[in-house]
Amino acid sequence: MKKHFRVAIDRERCKGCELCIPVCPLHLLAMSTTMNRKGYHVSETVRAAECLGCIKCARMCPEAAIEILNVP
C-alpha cells in the first residue's frame, strides 16, 4: 500500500535560505510571497499530496524547521 506523507514546515523557524528547494526530486517546494514574523520569505509546499517521504528537504534544513509526517 502506498504511504502518504505530510510536509510540515514551521514558518516561524524558516529563514528562507532556500536549501530545501533544489533537493526535492519532485519540485514540491517553493518560496512564499508572504513573510513570517521575522520578515523572511519562507519555504512552502506546492502539490503537497505528492510527497514521497524521501526526507531530503528535512535533512537539508539547517533550522530543523521541516518535519515529514507519516499520514495513516
Chain residues that interact with another protein, rule: CB under 8 A: 3, 5, 12-13, 15-19, 22-23, 40, 53-56, 58-64, 66-70
51 three-state secondary structure: coil
- Whose Cβ is closer to another protein: residue 17's or residue 48's? 17
Q: How far is the CB of 48 from another protein (least distance, A)?
A: 14
Q: How far is the CB of 16 from another protein (least distance, A)?
A: 6
Q: Which three cell numbers stand for residue 63?
A: 533550522
Please list, in sequence order, all residues whose beta carbon lies within 8 angstroms of the beta carbon of residue 13, skipping any fewer than 6 positions away. 63, 64, 65
- Whose Cβ is closer to another protein: residue 48's or residue 55's? 55
Angstrom distance (rounded) from CA 39 to CA 35: 5
